[in-house]
Amino acid sequence: MKNKRSTAWLLSIVLVFSVILSACSGNNEAGNGKETGGESSPSPSASAPASESASQPASEENHEPVTLKFISWKDSYNELYELFHKKYPWITIEQIPVNSQPIMEIIATLEAAGTPADVTEIDQDLISFDQNGLIEDLTPYIEKDLIFQDVTFPNGFFDTMTYNNKKLAVPMVDVPMWILVNKDLLAKNGLEMPPNDWTYDDFRDIAKKLTNPDAGEYGLTTQPEFQMRLLSTKAIADGHAANLQYMNEDLTQSMMNTPDVINDVKWLKEFVTKDGSLLSNAAATQQGDVTRDFINGKTGFAIGGDWVLPNLKKNANFEWDVLPFPRGKVSQPGYTIYGPLALLAGSKHKEEAFLWLSFQFTKEAQKWKIDQGANASVVDSELTAYYEQTPMWQGKNTAAVQLARENAKIQPGLTIPGWGEYNWNNIMNDIIFGEGDINEIIPQTEAWNKKTMELRATLK
């Protein structure tokens, strides 16, 4: 049941705890696990490699039983909890469900009850959690952890979760995205499955060929993900922005108000107004919302991530597959989201809690996540080969899955000041699927660019 205490009460509780907990927060200089864009093997450690020890249960001797409270939305991690308990038999994970409550409120409630949580997934920007003294700097833990020292991370692995030289979180999961393809609809229209190096021109052309209003069939599913995910990825692919959500190279300013990005917006809008391959919200509703869901089999392309795979595998009555996001004029980036996992400063079991964080990067945990459709978070040849072995991708375009992982850009925002006030999503949704005014992009973006720089100055 949603807690109805006032925001003022919550903030007062959080502020009280922030005073107490801030003494627990580290301020060490950032230390890295190794980061690379290649498949090179990590250098061996002086002691037994973590990759060996990770597969062996840790000794239960001389350990008191510990139960870690983990705040999480997911109710599908039970197998992962069991794998963790097998390695650390004295530690049990107790999930604290979110149930639509703000996570800061849950933290405050548990603190007030004298039963503080230990680790949490994050539901808003990391800066807010850090400023309130709620999460630990992970740097000193990472520097001495054998698992972290023995793995190789992709380039930029910590970038979106580091602020003021503090590593505030690690990815609980790397959520990839792909273009879902209705292969039966392709065949019905005499079309072959596109190659993995297809272009945005190919994407638009095929979408038009799949559109047959008399049959209620359309090139694209009516879903906001096309503006949320594809549009800003195309901006990178064509060299109009450096990062997702139209952000510049150092994530300090939005490029959404530039002529090139505005032309990208017009390009996608034409799928609705000119091509007819994408229905507006009003038109989709008028047709009974059939085109809003890819699994209905009435649309050729959709954007999906790991969350759609179980339903597709179980219930789709047509042949489907995946493609990477198309190639643009300068590159072929993919799109991924890091779900942040943080160690709470109020934890009474910080060392054990960090074991849950580091466990996420063992091979057994990484393979389990690949089995669920997620990306591997570490660079490892065995994990790369595992994409061909997992039942999740049997008979599917595993080369596309790996290409999407290799080329993925990480969704920003977690450590960008004022991100919650950046109106990139709603304004694009209104323009593409409704009657929104494209001319509003420029003044809104200019106002936010000014605001984020002002906020950034106050946080230094």
Q: What is the pLDDT of residues 281-337, one digit of tens each?
A: 999 999 999 999 999 999 999 999 999 999 999 999 999 999 999 999 999 999 999
Domains 41-175+337-402 and 177-336+413-459 share a fold: yes
More confident residue, 29 or 192: 192
Nearest to 210 by CA among 301, 322, 316: 301
For residues 282 and 435, is the Cβ–Cβ distance under 8 A? no
pLDDT mean over 217-241? 98
Q: What is the mean pLDDT of the chain?
A: 89
pLDDT category of residue 46 using cuts at 50, 70 and 90: very low
So what's the pLDDT on residue 281? 98
Nearest to 340 by CA among 174, 166, 139: 174
The CATH fold of domain 177-336+413-459 = D-Maltodextrin-Binding Protein; domain 2 (3.40.190)
pLDDT digits (tens, 9 = 90+) for 439-450: 999 999 999 999
Mean pLDDT is lowest, of 42-46, 172-176, 194-198, 344-348, for: 42-46
Of the CA atoms within 13 Å of residue 456, those in its CB half-sphere come to 15
pLDDT digits (tens, 9 = 90+) for 150-173: 999 988 899 899 999 999 999 999
Mean pLDDT is lowest, of 3-12, 144-153, 223-232, 242-251, for: 3-12
More confident residue, 62 or 194: 194
At residue 162, φ and ψ (nearest 5 deg) are: -115, 135
So what's the pLDDT on residue 208? 98
Q: Please name the helix (run of DSSP H) or strand (run of DSSP E) that holds residue 371, with its range, or none.
A: helix 363-371
Token pair, residue 283, equals 């038109």
Of the CA atoms within 13 Å of residue 252, those in its CB half-sphere come to 7
Superfamily per CATH, domain 41-175+337-402:
Periplasmic binding protein-like II (3.40.190.10)
The pairing of strands 91-97 and 66-72 is parallel
For residues 392 and 309, is the Cβ–Cβ distance under 8 A? yes
Domain boundaries, the chain: 41-175+337-402, 177-336+413-459
So what's the pLDDT on residue 215? 97
For residues 147 and 361, is the Cβ–Cβ distance under 8 A? yes
Q: Give the whole-angstrom CA distance, residue 408 versus residue 379.
A: 13
pLDDT digits (tens, 9 = 90+) for 118-128: 999 998 789 99
Q: Give the whole-angstrom CA distance, residue 197 versus residue 334.
A: 12
pLDDT digits (tens, 9 = 90+) for 398-437: 999 999 999 999 999 999 999 999 999 999 999 999 999 9
pLDDT mean over 333-349? 96
Residues of the chain with pLDDT > 90: what percent?
82
Q: Give the whole-angstrom CA distance, residue 277 versus residue 269.
A: 11
Which of 57-60's residues contact partners 24+ apart within 8 Å by CB, and which partners?
A: 57/86, 57/87, 57/88, 57/89, 58/87, 58/88, 58/89, 60/89, 60/90
Would you state the torsion angle of the CA atoms of residues 127, 344, 171, 392, taken in this order, to the nearest 10 degrees?
A: -140
So what's the pLDDT on residue 163? 92
So what's the pLDDT on residue 460? 64
Predicted TM-score (pTM) of this structure: 0.85
3-state secondary structure of 339: strand
Token pair, residue 41, equals 């093997």
More confident residue, 92 or 459: 92
Q: Given a cut of 70, is residue 91 above it in pLDDT?
A: yes
So what's the pLDDT on residue 4? 38
pLDDT category of residue 33 using cuts at 50, 70 and 90: low
Cβ atoms within 10 Å of 391's Cβ, excluding its own: 8
Residues of the chain with pLDDT > 70: what percent?
87
